[in-house]
Amino acid sequence: MVLLAVLITSPMCNAQVCIYELQGKVTDKHQRPVVGAIVRLLSTSLGAATDTNGNFTITNICRGKDTLVCEAIEYKKTRVVINIADTESIQIVLASGENELGEVVVKGERLQDLHTATQTELSGKALEQTRGATLGQALKELPGLNSVQTGPTLSKPVIHGLYSNRVLIINDGVRQEGQQWGSEHAPEIDPFIANKITVVKGAESVRYGSDAIGGVVLLSPDDLPTQKGITGDVYLIGASNGRMGALSTSLQGAFDKALEGLSWRIQGTLKDAGNFSTPHYYLNNTGLREGDFSANVGYKWKGFDFNVYYSQYNTEVGIFEGAESGSLKDLLIKFESPRPLTRSFFSYDIQRSYQTVYHDLFKASSNYKFHNGGKLDITFGRQKDLRKEYDSDLPLTTDPNILKEPQLSFQLITQTLDLIYTQPNKNGFTGSFGFTGTTSGNVFKGIRYLIPNFRDYNGGIFAIERYSVNKLTFEAGIRYDYRWLQVYQRNPVNLVLYNTTYEYSNITGTAGALYHFNDHLTMNLNTGTAWRAPSINELYINGVHFSDASYEIGDSALKSERSINTSFSVNYTSDKLRSSIDLYYNNIWNYIYEMPLAQPVTTISGVFPAFAFTQDNVNIKGVDVSAQYAFLPNFTYQLKATVVRGYNETIHNHLIYMPADRLDNGIEYHLPNIGKVSEPYVSIDNISVARQTRVPPHTDYVPPPAGYSLWNANVGCLLHIKHNSLNIQFAVDNITNVAYRDYLNHFRYYADELGINYILRLKYSF
Amino acid sequence: MNKTRIVLLTTIMTLVIFWSACNKQEKAVAPPVPGNEFITTLKLVATNVADSTDMVSCAWTKLNPNDTSAPDTSLAHMKLRANAVYNVKVMVLDETKTPPLDITPEIQDRENYHLVCFTIAPGLNLSVQRTDHDTNTPQHEVGLADKFAAGSPSSGNLEVVLHHQPNVKNGDCNRGSIDIDVNFTIYIK
């Protein structure tokens, strides 16, 4: 067996600081990845298992000599002494063994990215257990996160009580720009493209730009391969509820000789579901169809790294038939009925009302590494988002062409350009500075009015500097942003075009510190600011929102929101316990929300309560706790708790739509490996959510739903088939088939949440 | 570094071209779709079965469906003779068009998933019977044509609701969603 290690570090600090990270890859002699190999450091027993691409990452490594041990089924155990130090680059070649495991490539040992802001990550097994779910549902697994839903198929991530335009989604380095303002506008992303999802919790405008008031969701695909050969993954997922099926495949490869440096990946996903079911009835017209693909080509040449990427997302989603409200009276009739009034049945058909969404992204990026260790990154992105919404009734017309048209259609085309320079590490200082620019144009077409057209230009410059000395790291940054917005409208009477121009500019900053007490304990404190300009719906919406039975009125005089978020985290890691506590306090000035008006609006379809967009000063505070404790050999207990409190300081009352208290805890039992079956496990989890009692009076039609408690179970293992592997996982969600409703689901007025769901997930890696 | 510069410059130039290539579709705001129709008015036209010269009507109107202004209810009342029977036609109009456009035939075309329901306030001596039927199997009433039987002199509110019941119509009012929901005052003298 051959173990090849390349260690790359930069000189940094001189004390015993355990902030190094070891990344690598284990392959067989044919350079195919070895899955499930255990790589660990002898001194600390810190270690990691390789994922389906053979990659592993070990964090919190101390400086100095250590022995790296690599074990894998059917292969000979390998040891190598490595020196984690201020070395530029070293290669270690181990003696070959009989079983010809091949090699372990430690491709990069580097300093961990030290962020003083609070972060959490979904990857590896935890991410695999969410495959087939939407992005919003998948992220619910993380402490501090919830999801806001419109029925079973549309969900958006909620970070520390904030969502929609207050959460920024970055897809492989590009800001996701879609129609993000409505609760039924789910992120237009195929979660299968990501092999790691990082969530930065808190105000992070300095690094990521405007809108990062609640936080940032970063989706990262796996790195393109560097070694010759073709590898791939096939996911096959089936779920009983909704009779949902999903197939996702990716193929990747690299070349050698004349084409060395060239690598590629293609990926595609198909998903189909019919009517989902609650414990007692089906939710008619909740099916969905999705088809996505992406292609990526990379080329490394000397110090350059070029990358071109294209992805396309297509979906058609039915809107639950029972959630159509013509008026407040309609809504209350539906709420009072214990089940939807119409016969429920299963069907894959999608009827009116439904929505179709198309999103594509073209990205071209390149970076250059200078001889001094600095790096210049340039990224261009162009994305198009096209959303069409079809109401339950056909348009009222005799014109056959108009009959085919959606009632609402929005097209948003966005170009982004980012230029970032990362400076080399010098005397403990590292940092980056750069420019980001975006422009987008929105074209609204609709049979009924909702929002006007607009064009915006945004530019920002920022600089972030970090300084590490001994056990302490400081971080500070500053940013200036400018936004120009022009809104195009037509006078409804004489049809004359006119426009209105807005300008916004903001300075944001961040400062934080991280302290490593010892190998086990770290603390970090961060204060960050963020801002967000009012979105087009908040400025100009005017009309009935049918699923909420409300009449919404925009305010074109709204100002920017600004927030200052302070977070404090403590992390403790040992052999048996991994735990973290995050505390935060987010103060938001000019927070935009919908305030109920005393006077309802009378339309021909009935009387609607009216809500006007307004702004107040609010604060959101809370605590996220997570812990994993190996209390017995082979047993792990895990706990995740999320508590959020929102308060409106202007009107001295609670803030609406804050997530209720949530506790998720469970036990996992790891069985011993049997033959070719490795890492078998069984786990059971309980999710308990309290009733939300902190709601402002007279703002909701019905009180928040009662709390609930759900049980979920999982079993899984990894099967080795020659040099390939099959990951098998079987899950049962809501085992006791509890009927419940969730405060953050907009369809809680109309129907229960999903009942029992059996899910089988297979992943074949070759 | 010469090569570096060339590559960088080319990259930036390409990006600038991409950047400026964006067309400004948003400036051409789409005018209102001419063939599209709005429901602005619900009108009831009642003809006395015994005396065709006794024809009365009432109308509820809101010309702009997209504003918060109060509706025009100046004509939302009607006088019926006591102990008389009337044939009533429910009419749906688009009065943003000149002359006003009658949308009732389009609703008639979609009668298999529409149902008109009437709620009579206590104290108003009126009974309402739908007289038209759709082509569902089995057939259900529609309610665009009705018989109003006025009793002894009284007055009160009559609520008229047009329900939209695609594929779920069974004669019940509570199904589907509400397209029109308006109130009239009926005087029986």
DSSP calls for A431-482: EEEEEEEEEEEEEEEESS----EEEEEEEEEEEEEEEEETTEEEEEEEEEEE
Q: Which chain B residues are Cβ-neighbours of A542 within 8 angstroms?
A: 66-67
Alpha carbon distance B175, B177 (integer Å): 7
Q: What is the Cβ-side half-sphere exposure of residue B63, based on CA atoms within 13 angstroms?
A: 8
ipTM > 0.95 (yes/no): no
Q: Give the whole-angstrom CA distance, residue A745 versus residue A701.
A: 14
pLDDT at B5 over 70: no
Q: Beta A304-318 vs A288-301: how paired, if at all? A: antiparallel
Cα A426 to Cα A113, A472, A529: the distances in Å are: 16, 16, 27
Question: Please, what's the largest Cα pairwise distance for chain B?
Answer: 101
Position A288: which residue type?
A: L
Of A124-133, A337-346, B7-16, B145-154, the range with the highest mean pLDDT is B145-154
pLDDT tens for residues B57-111? Answer: 999 998 877 677 888 999 999 999 999 999 999 999 988 888 888 989 988 988 9
Question: Within this chain, do residues A133 and A258 fall inside the same structural domain, yes or no?
Answer: no
Residue B32's pLDDT is: 73
CA distances from B156 to B120, B121, B124 (A): 8, 6, 5
Chain A positions touching B112 (Cβ under 8 A) are none
pLDDT at A50: 78
* Cβ <8 Å between A341 and B70: no
For residues A236 and A284, membership in a common domain is answered with yes
- pLDDT, residue A248, reads 96
Asked whether B175 and B169 are in contact (CB, 8 A), the reply is yes
Per-residue pLDDT, A98: 41
Q: Are residues A176 and A277 in the same domain?
A: no
Do residue B29 and residue A337 have CB atoms under 8 angstroms apart?
Answer: no
Give dist(CA A149, CA A134) in Å, integer. Answer: 11
For an interface test with A, give the residue of B26, B114, B181 to mutate (most A CBs within 10 A). B26
Residue whose entry in the numeric block shows the structure tokens 């009432």: B58
Low-confidence ranges of chain A (pLDDT < 70): 1-20, 28-33, 44-45, 60, 62-64, 73-76, 83-115, 326, 546-549
Distance from CA of B61 to the nearest CA of A (A): 8
* Residues of chain A contacting residue B40, judged by C-beta atoms under 8 Å apart: 604
CA distance A672 to A179: 48
Asked if A184 and A312 sit in the same domain, the reply is no
Residue A690 to residue A708: CA distance in whole angstroms: 7
Cα A612 to chain centroid distance, Å, stands at 30
Tell me, what DSSP letter sits at residue A748? G
- Distance (Å) from the alpha carbon of A440 to chain B's nearest alpha carbon: 9
* pLDDT for B9 beyond 70: no
Cα distances (Å, whole numbers) of residue A431 to A114, A209, A476, A501, A528: 11, 17, 9, 36, 17
**What is the per-residue pLDDT for A627?**
94
The amino acid that residue A439 corresponds to is T
CA geometry: angle A425, A217, A288, nearest 5 deg: 150
A402 contact residues in B (CB cutoff 8 A)? 33, 35-36
Distances (CA, A) of B168 to A286, B109, B114, B173: 16, 17, 10, 11
A216, A247, A282: which is the final residue of a domain?
A: A216
Indicate yes or no: CB of A326 within 8 angstroms of CB of B25.
no
In this complex, do A439 and B25 lie within 8 Å of one another by their Cβ atoms? no
Which residues from chain B sit within 8 angstroms of residue A364, using beta carbons? 11, 14-15
User: Which among A321, A341, A397 has the least Cβ separation from residue B35?
Assistant: A397
A548 and A662 housed in the same domain:
yes
B15–A417 CB contact, under 8 Å: yes
Rounded Cα distance between A740 and A755, Å, is 9
Distance from CA of B179 to the nearest CA of A (A): 5
Paired strand residues for A728: A717, A762
Which of A158, A181, A216 is a domain's end point?
A: A216
Q: B residues 47-76 near A, CB within 8 Å?
A: 60, 62, 64-68, 70-71
CA distance A219 to chain B (A): 24
Across the interface, of A342, A364, A602, the residue whose CB is closest to B71 is: A602
**Contact in structure between A138 and A194 (CB atoms under 8 Å):** no
Backbone angles phi, psi at B137, to 5 degrees: -120, 115
For residues A25 and A149, membership in a common domain is answered with no
Structure tokens at A126: 């935890």
Using CB atoms within 10 Å of the CB of residue A463, give its burial: 0 to 12 exposed, 13 to 18 middle, 19+ buried. middle
The dihedral built from the CA positions of residue A736, A739, A743 and A746, taken in this order, carries a sign that is positive
Q: In what order do the strands lie in the sheet with A103-111?
A: A55-61, A20-27, A103-111, A4-7, A90-93
- A29 and A129, same structural domain? no
* Subunit contact A326:B177, Cβ cutoff 8 A: yes
Taking the CA of residue B78 and the nearest CA in chain A, the distance in Å comes to 19
Interface test with B, best of A333, A401, A604 (most B CBs within 10 A): A604
Helix (H) or strand (E) holding B9: helix B2-20
Best A408, A456, A500, A603 member to test B by mutation, with max B CBs in 10 Å, is A603
Q: Which of residues 83-102 of B touch A (CB under 8 A)?
A: 94
Which tokens in the block code for residue A286? 């909740």
**Complete DSSP assignment for A272-328:** EE---B-SSSB-TT--EEEEEEEEEEEEEETTEEEEEEEEEEEEEEE--GGG--SSH
Set of chain A residues whose Cβ sits within 8 Å of the Cβ of B180: 604-605
User: Which residues in chain B have their CB less than 8 angstroms from residue A610's CB?
Assistant: 68
Q: Are residues A488 and A563 in the same domain?
A: yes
Predicted local confidence at residue B38, as pLDDT: 82
Best of B29, B113, B170 to substitute, by most chain A Cβ atoms within 10 angstroms, is B29
Q: Quick one: pLDDT at residue A413?
A: 94
Residues of A in contact with B38 (CB under 8 A): 396
Q: Which residues of A touch B63 (CB under 8 A)?
A: none
Which CATH number belongs to the domain containing residue A314 in this structure? Answer: 2.40.170.20
CA distance to partner chain A, nearest, from residue B71 (Å): 7
Q: What is the CATH number of the domain that holds A179?
A: 2.170.130.10
Please list every residue in chain B whose beta carbon sits closer than 8 Å to the beta carbon of residue A449. Answer: 66
Contact criterion met (CB < 8 Å) for A402 and B35: yes
Give me the residue from A337, A453, A542 closest to B26, CB to CB.
A453
Chain B closest-CA separation from residue A282 CA (Å): 15
Verify cis geometry, omega within 30 degrees of 0, for the bond prior to A569: no
Q: Are residues A258 and A286 in the same domain?
A: yes
A415 and A497 inside one domain: yes
The domain in which residue A8 lies consists of 4-111
From the list B22, B26, B33, the residue facing A442 with the nearest CB is B26
Measured between alpha carbons, how far is A265 from A224 in angstroms, rounded to an integer? 7
Residue with tokens 């199904």: B175
Indicate the residue of B30, B66, B103 with minimum beta-carbon distance to A396.
B103
**Nearest residue, CB atoms, A605 vs list B106, B168, B179:** B179
CA distance A655 to A5: 53
Chain A: nearest CA to B33, how far in angstroms? 7
Greatest Cα-to-Cα distance within chain A, rounded to the nearest angstrom:
86
CA of A142, closest CA in chain B: separation in Å?
A: 37
| Spatial distance between the Cα atoms of A392 and A28, rounded to a whole number of angstroms | 57
**Minimum Cα–Cα distance from A612: chain B residue:** B68
Number of domains chain A is built from: 3
**Cα(A680)–Cα(A675) distance, rounded to whole angstroms?**
11
Q: Does B30 contact chain A (CB < 8 Å)? A: yes
pLDDT of residue B167: 79
Per-residue confidence (pLDDT) for residue A358, from 0 to 100? 96
Chain B residue with Cα closest to A327:
B178
Q: Are residues A638 and A754 in the same domain?
A: yes
- Check CB contact under 8 Å for A341 and B18: no
State the best of A301, A321, A339, A342 to mutate against chain B, taking most chain B CBs within 10 Å.
Answer: A342
- How far is C-alpha A692 from the chain's CA centre? 25
CB contacts under 8 A, B 101-140 vs A, are 103, 106, 110
Q: Which residues in chain B are closer than 8 Å to A333, comparing Cβ atoms? A: 174
Domain boundary among the residues A216, A243, A263 is at A216
Interface probe for A, chosen from B1, B102, B119, B177 (most Cβ of A below 10 Å), is B177
Helix (H) or strand (E) holding B6: helix B2-20
CATH classification of the domain holding A68: 2.60.40.1120
Mean per-residue pLDDT of chain A: 85
Q: Which pTM was predicted?
A: 0.84
> Contact at 8 Å (CB) between A128 and A36?
no
Cβ–Cβ below 8 Å for B181 and A397: no
Measured from the Cβ of residue A262, the count of other Cβ atoms closer than 10 Å reads 17
B88/chain A closest Cα distance in angstroms:
20
- Using DSSP's 3-state secondary structure scheme, residue B152 falls into coil
Residues A491 and A536 grouped into a single domain: yes
Tell the residue number behind the tokens 């009337």, with chain if given: B86
- Minimum-distance CB partner of B181 among A329, A445, A488: A329
Q: Is B15–A378 a contact, with Cβ atoms under 8 angstroms apart?
A: yes
